[in-house]
A and B are shown apart, each in its own frame.
Chain A
């Protein structure tokens, strides 16, 4: 096993995860594995049209099919209010959320839910769907962000008025929001430039691609309580969203999180829970809904396609004097793309003196977008990092050197005006420059090397932890963060470090909404940071109480001892006034009943000092000039990771995120026909990377401890997906001599560029 990081006993080691044996034997219970007595199977009927009015729905023939126990439509849900509701990390409009779960008057994308059925078998449910008659008035769809912004575009919402520069206007159309950030005076700045480069780039819609489909099993009890079992990134946000859509109190809903087979942001919104709940209420039985892979593509939130215009001006010495961008993002059927985050990330690695970014949030007839790992930032980096590469070439400068000249540091201002705290961007550039990969010349035809940087904020938000001390000196750590990637281990390690007991003595348990205080989602790169923080604080609470127990034991009239007189170090409590009086953690644990009873420590946090994350990636490619296929020869990712609690899982986040970025760059896209139907809705044609497409991914973990966390933790999970598309675009440029300005850079796109493009 690995050595601990200097100054720590547990942090930096690589122990086995506590849920490991269950997961490698197939015993772990994921949402799809849940079984209940009398359970029915549900299916959702979905619109075949990308844009249509619903004239009528007749479910009578489906209801009459033997084996069908319940049928529902939006009429079974309360009329949603047009107001904001908590839905995950930010508030969403309740009407949009409820209508996305089940369409009311209009369907806004192919796959939009229209009705649902629960039956004694999945096959009967599927047959029943064919018996539901829906009359549609088909409308023309709009499938492209620029087209959707035109005055004559088909309009999705009767009541959507544009928010412009922070104020509501009366402009009715598909543009939900137009905002702008500005720092300094770009117009003046560009006048000082020796070199100005300007480009337009486009990215396609891509999906998070988690292997486990969405699922929900719901029992609406006779006593009115709604019990939900689901694979989710956040049981508390499922609880909140479901209660809002159903129009019932939050306290009437219990959500038990099952193990989850991937999320990446896509398993934060609810799709199935309210539907299953109504079917359960109507049938009196538990109802399970699982999405098929086609439904995942047709009807769950992908990340936006986008159109981006960008302009950067610099002096001959490499100092950028001004930068401007206009970002137009597809929100899908309802407003709320991550275009604001994209606008805040696009120039984040750089201390440019003058910046302006305009953003447009645009609706169109595709599924409502959901978060996907650093949402918005990958699109933005594709634009900015391509241009920085072009600038370096124009100035005759090494691209990493250009980044060193312009790189941001603590105290420098972002485009919002906020100054950065302690960050580690320059360290990532330095690490890339010094890496053996970068020092190794790349030779051979059709080969090229590219670099790119990226940024993501990470978030803090709320977490709760309870630690119960067992009589044998082990502890149960009760937490509410679903474990998507090894966080039971990283949280237990922080508790073990604070308690100064072995990692194996901390038993983490992920529990339901009844059993632990509010905890925000496993996402946003917050879990090891915030729930770890809570675990640390709960551990300190345990130690403080144990000091009191020791004091109680040692106290006498002749030699009084209070908790303040007790020290704790290396597993041993010691009376500072009489060093002969000591007790081990195990001994205190073994005598709790005699010193006051059970001992429970707890903590809730809403931490500040989050700390953003930076990454710089280097990639070598070879392009086949006959097929356009890109082979990745070598990949190195450097990242400022704060303190790596469990280095294997930090490496894993970097490798996994980088590979998602590689898929986004080279192959993944939603392909639509003229009717607005996705024609490649399977893993065969929505082409994600396989083991054969990749080499090993080398990672460099740079530890610039985050001063805002007791162990210096910085979120690591999201930023790795940000640089890859740009790094690959820059490598491909050096291989074929032409700039790819559209994602994905698939073989046919590259061939087309080689043969026809400039």
Chain B
């Protein structure tokens, strides 16, 4: 099962949970299952199933392009701000 890291800012919405293992072969599946484990959190992280402008999802350090992106059995999932350069 993938390991989902809850950003510290949102841990108060997750009963203080910092990390949680969640099933899912795609990002969408994983987020659906996350809703089951920590109800309500997903709506803050990916509201309306759209990526937030100020938050992206990283699977194994790579920014996810779409909810269909695959998640591995030992993947790490993080929620981090988007990066832009100059």
Contact = CB atoms under 8 A, between A and B. Distances in A.
Instruction: Indicate yes or no for A touching B, C-beta below 8 A.
Output: yes
Contact of A457 (B5, B62, B83): B83
A609 B85 contact: no
Q: Is the interface of A mostly helix, strand, loop or mixed?
A: loop
A166 interface: yes
A523 interface: yes
Range class of the B interface residue count: 20 to 34
A257 to B, nearest CB: 17
B86 A718 contact: yes
Given A418-B61, A419-B61, A165 B9 contact: yes
Nearest to B85: A524
Nearest to B52: A166
Given A166-B7, A608-B62, A340 B44 contact: no
A90 interface: yes
B15 to A, nearest CB: 16
Contacts of B7: 166, 181, 416-417
Contact of A89 (B9, B78, B80, B84): B84
Please name the 10 residue pairs, one residue from A and one from B, whose CB atoms are nearest each other, closest first: A265-B86, A524-B85, A371-B86, A89-B84, A165-B9, A182-B8, A340-B81, A608-B62, A91-B53, A417-B5
Contacts of B39: none
A375 B58 contact: no
A503 B12 CA distance: 57
A190 interface: no
B61 A89 contact: no
Interface of A: 84, 88-91, 163, 165-167, 177, 179-182, 208, 264-266, 268, 338, 340-341, 344, 370-375, 416-421, 456-459, 523-526, 606, 608-609, 715, 718
A265 B62 CA distance: 23
Contacts of A165: 9-10, 12
Nearest to A721: B86
A454 to B, nearest CB: 14
A341 B76 contact: no
A416 to B, nearest CB: 5
Nearest to B55: A166
B61 A264 contact: no
B36 interface: no
Contacts of B61: 418-421
B84 A524 contact: yes
B86 A523 contact: yes
A607 to B, nearest CB: 10
Nearest to B7: A166
B65 interface: yes
A163 B52 CA distance: 13
Interface in B1-36: 5, 7-10, 12
Contacts of A523: 85-86
Interface string B48-86: 000001110010011001000000000010101111111
A89 B44 contact: no
Given A89-B85, A264-B86, A341-B81, 19 more contacts: A89-B82, A90-B82, A91-B53, A165-B12, A265-B86, A266-B86, A268-B86, A371-B86, A375-B84, A416-B78, A417-B5, A418-B61, A418-B80, A419-B61, A420-B61, A456-B85, A457-B85, A524-B83, A718-B85
B62 A609 contact: yes
Contact of B76 (A268, A340, A419, A458): A419
A417 B20 CA distance: 13
A421 B61 CA distance: 8
A166 B10 contact: yes
Contacts of B65: 606
A341 B10 contact: no
Contact of A344 (B44, B62, B81): B81
Given A457-B85, A525-B85, A90 B53 contact: yes
Contacts of A163: 54
Contacts of A371: 84-86
A373 B83 CA distance: 12
A265 B85 contact: yes
Contact of B8 (A177, A181, A525, A526): A181
B61 to A, nearest CB: 5
